[in-house]
Amino acid sequence: MSLTAPLAFPPEQLAEVHRLQALYPDRRAALLPVLHMAQDAFGYISLEVEEYVAGLFDMTPAHVHEVVTFYTMFFQRPKGRHVVAICHNLSCHLAGAPRILTHLKERLGVEVGETTDDGRVTLLSVECLCACEHAPMMQVDDRYEFDLTPARVDRILEGLR
Amino acid sequence: MPKLTIDGKEIEVAPGTNLIEAARALDIEVPHYCYHPGLSVAGQCRLCMVDIEKAPRPTIACNTVATDGMVVWTQTERVLETRKSIMEFHLINHPLDCPVCDQAGECWLQIYYMKHGLYDPRMVDEKVHKPKAVPLGPHVILDAERCILCSRCVRFCDEVTATGELGIFDRGDRSEIGLFPGRELDNKYSGNVVDICPVGALTDRDFRFQVRVWYLDAAKSICPGCARGCNIEVHVNRRRPHHAQGRRVARLKPRFNAAVNKWWICDDGRYGFGFVDDGSRLRSPLQREGGQQLPVAWDEAIAGVAGALTAHPPAETGVIASPKMANEDLFALRRVLDRRGVTQVGFAVRPRVPGDEDKLLIRADKNPNTRGAELIGLGGDTAAILAAARARRIRCLWIFGHDLLDAGWPEAETRAALGAVETLIWSGTNANATSALARWVLPSAAWVERDGTFTNFEGRVQRFRAAVDQLGEALPDWEILGRVLTALGEPTLAARAEHWFRELGRSVPAFAGMTYQSIGDTGQMVGATREAARA
Ligand code: SF4
Ligand code: SF4
Ligand code: FES
């Protein structure tokens, strides 16, 4: 998690990298899970991390950069301790997501894509997360939060330290 | 071998042939962007759709292998409609900056749009904008807005050079070609991505804004950069000289030869023609008078050189030929040497830095005709000739092309050798430190200014052709040597390079039976005709 950690996986994680690589006929298939591990370990995917991971796969950093820039779940800049991602797709939109988003921006004091000054929360606005039956909804870290109202959002935000 | 029918015509092709190549064999062009015969199949551009009987919908030809009994149609209404849609799709965000794009005139967006364009665009939205004029490395510049994301350049760097510098970053309509931040596209073959980019996204920094491509003329040639002898085209600007400040050679492009360089050439070869229009070119014969070299007429220079060769006994005469000379020149030189009985001749000069070499094309020997010089029998000990000059046993020395003062020998020793010689004759295209010491300087035509042949390291004899006029009074070496031979009392009738080559074929067994016709555009191996005759 800390950004000052040396840029290498500890031995247990390296073993996990090798286990994942061995699962596929082409070991590059393990790039996605390894990038997720790297994001957890190093906080975000910096260019340095891309070069490190490229080395683990005998790839050039350009090809790791392709993958990192393609997927929105990889952060190329430092992110907050928590990530709040509100769905802005059709169902949520009709069910009041714009109002929830405005509320989130006011409460956090940031625009979409920004992180609060205290490094607590990064706010994102994303495409459909497949929970239309509970619109409007958002994802908070690994959790889904359903049927949002401003009051519910406030309670959720209070729980984020 | 599978036999199939394309547009009603039957053809048999090798197993594994895809439908683009099968159609090509019938002279039917299936429009395509991402497919390149030298790269893996990506199936990225979707332009190569054809109809295959029994298939429910059009199929991409690049990724479909011809099978026995297949019936293919390349011009059905459905296929034509599909091409039009794909073209529309590729042009959604295209900036349409043809008027300022170097690719204009040889751009596959332009070419295919003429035939398959919609001509009535439906785009009303603001286009997505991307970086323009981004230098990627020493030779290549990127305009990301013009890119159609065919990935040819990416695959070239992955599969041919295995350097993997390029990638496609981001996604959807924001996808763009690029480098890992902070890196450069600086591999030894980077210029090839410009050739294979079907549009104006990757262009050549050296050629950029020099001249419109429709003003260029082309001649088939051979790269003189190393012993590989890559097949090239020389593109020259004769019609708009003022567009490029008088620079005549606009660019070199690879010419396909399956046995030599396939589709590629290296950057050293591609950009190695600067000397042709350089200010150091020698434009007339020179004679040293006291401390100065002054222009003289050819007749005077020829008489002077022939006089020196006659005045000095053969034992006092040495020649350092050049493996950059054509077979025709070397053979004419052979005649001059035989006429005078000169035996102290060599051509190999140790380079100051050893040449680099790789597994793809580049050879450590940076000379195009070492093999030819050996076969014509000029391969003596050059260092011994210089030693003899230093010991004043050689009084007359004729050097071709080399700058011996910039070679892998101790400069002081070479300088002593050159200083000890009474008559120093120097032939070549560009003045250098060695030519500056000569009594007689004979200006040679550059390879693009004349016809000739080189023999590559494998023994393949390949033709190069004149692309531009000779500069000033410069002449091909074979012609200069022919005139010297005449002055020595052996009149020669050889008025063209081809005549000298015919003579060579008569005299040197390795070249027996070869003619310019039999060499053709792809070259011929030495000894091939003899073997054919024996068989
Ligand atoms: S830059 Fe050219 S070769 Fe590379 S992907 Fe774009 S269009 Fe294709
Ligand atoms: S490999 Fe040699 S012959 Fe080929 S382009 Fe390069 S320098 Fe020229
Ligand atoms: S050439 Fe077939 S998809 Fe591009």
> Of B130, B156, B169, B179, which to mutate for an interface test with A (greatest number of A Cβ within 10 Å)?
B169
By Cβ distance, the residue of A50, A62, A70 closest to B170 is: A70
Looking at the structure of chain B, the number of domains it has is 3
Q: Could you tell me if B22 and B68 lie in one domain? A: yes
Q: Is residue B17 part of a domain?
A: yes
A68: phi then psi, degrees, rounded to nearest 5: -65, -35
Q: Could you tell me if B56 and B150 lie in one domain? A: no
Q: Could you tell me if B327 and B416 lie in one domain? A: yes
Q: Which two tokens stand for residue B3?
A: 């036999």
Print the domain residue range for B22: 3-85
Q: Tell me what pLDDT residue B531 has.
A: 59
B261-278 pLDDT, tens digit per residue, is 999 999 999 999 999 999
pLDDT higher than threshold 50 for residue A78: yes
Give the nearest chain A residue to B176 (CA atoms).
A66
Q: Is residue B481 part of a domain?
A: yes
Q: Could you tell me if B392 and B491 lie in one domain? A: yes
Domain residue limits, chain A:
11-70, 82-158
User: Residue B337: which residues within 8 A CB-CB, separation 6 or more?
Assistant: B319, B343, B345
Asked if B494 and B482 count as a contact pair (C-beta separation under 8 A), the reply is yes
> Where is pLDDT greater, at A2 or B478?
B478
Residue B109 Cβ < 6 Å to ligand 2: no
* Pairwise CA distance, residues B1 & B14, whole Å: 6
User: Residue B209: which residues within 8 A CB-CB, separation 6 or more?
Assistant: B102
pLDDT band at B533 (very low <50, low <70, confident <90, very high): low
Q: Tell me what pLDDT residue A2 has.
A: 47
B184-217 pLDDT, tens digit per residue, is 999 999 999 999 999 999 999 999 999 999 999 9
pLDDT higher than threshold 70 for residue B105: yes
Buried b (16+ CB within 10 A) or exposed e, B31-54: bbbbbbeebebbebbbbbbbbbee
Q: Which of B35, B59, B85 is the last residue of a domain?
A: B85
Q: Is residue B504 part of a domain?
A: yes
* Pairwise CA distance, residues B414 & B392, whole Å: 13
Q: Could you tell me if B67 and B181 lie in one domain? A: no
Q: Could you tell me if B42 and B183 lie in one domain? A: no
CATH number for the domain that contains residue B390: 3.40.50.740
Q: How many CB atoms lie within 10 A of CB B100?
A: 10
Q: Indicate the range of B185-199, B230-244, B401-415 predicted with least confidence.
A: B230-244
Interval B467-493 mean pLDDT:
96
Give the nearest chain A residue to B178 (CA atoms).
A62
Q: pTM for the whole thing?
A: 0.94
Question: Helix, strand, coil proportions of chain B in percent (round to 5)?
Answer: 30, 20, 50
Candidates B408, B445, B405, B410; CA nearest to B424 is B405
CATH number for the domain that contains residue B185: 3.30.70.20
pLDDT higher than threshold 50 for residue A1: no
Contacts of A60 in chain B (CB under 8 A): 163-165, 180
Give the nearest chain B residue to A76 (CA atoms).
B170
pLDDT higher than threshold 60 for residue B334: yes
pLDDT higher than threshold 90 for residue B240: no
Q: Is residue B466 part of a domain?
A: yes
pLDDT band at B447 (very low <50, low <70, confident <90, very high): very high
**Gap from CA of A5 to ligand 2 centroid (Å):** 48
B346-355 pLDDT, tens digit per residue, is 999 999 999 9
CATH number for the domain that contains residue B69: 3.10.20.740
pLDDT higher than threshold 70 for residue B221: yes
A88-132 pLDDT, tens digit per residue, is 999 999 999 999 999 999 999 999 999 999 999 999 999 999 999
Q: Which two tokens stand for residue B334?
A: 């052979």
CB pair distance less than 8 Å for A62 and B181 = no
> Of A60, A64, A73, A77, which to mutate for an interface test with B (greatest number of B Cβ within 10 Å)?
A60
Fold of the domain built from segment(s) A11-70: Arc Repressor Mutant, subunit A (1.10.10)
B276-313 pLDDT, tens digit per residue, is 999 999 999 999 988 899 999 999 999 999 999 999 99
- Averaged pLDDT of chain A: 94
* Percent with pLDDT over 90 in chain B: 94
**Gap from CA of B140 to ligand 2 centroid (Å):** 18
- Averaged pLDDT of chain B: 96
CB pair distance less than 8 Å for B171 and A59 = no
Residue B363 Cβ < 6 Å to ligand 3: no
**What one-character-per-residue DSSP string does A47-92 give?**
HHHHHHHHHHHT--HHHHHHHHHH-TTS-SS---SEEEEEE-SHHH
Residue nearest to ligand 2 atom 4, measured at CA: B230
CB pair distance less than 8 Å for A69 and B170 = yes
pLDDT higher than threshold 80 for residue B396: yes
B51-100 pLDDT, tens digit per residue, is 999 999 999 999 999 999 999 999 999 999 999 999 999 999 999 999 99
Burial class of residue A128 in the structure, from the number of CB atoms within 10 Å of its CB (0-12 exposed, 13-18 middle, 19+ buried): middle
* Pairwise CA distance, residues B235 & B253, whole Å: 8
pLDDT band at B338 (very low <50, low <70, confident <90, very high): very high
CATH superfamily of A82-158: Glutaredoxin (3.40.30.10)
Q: Tell me what pLDDT residue B494 has.
A: 87
CB pair distance less than 8 Å for B180 and A60 = yes
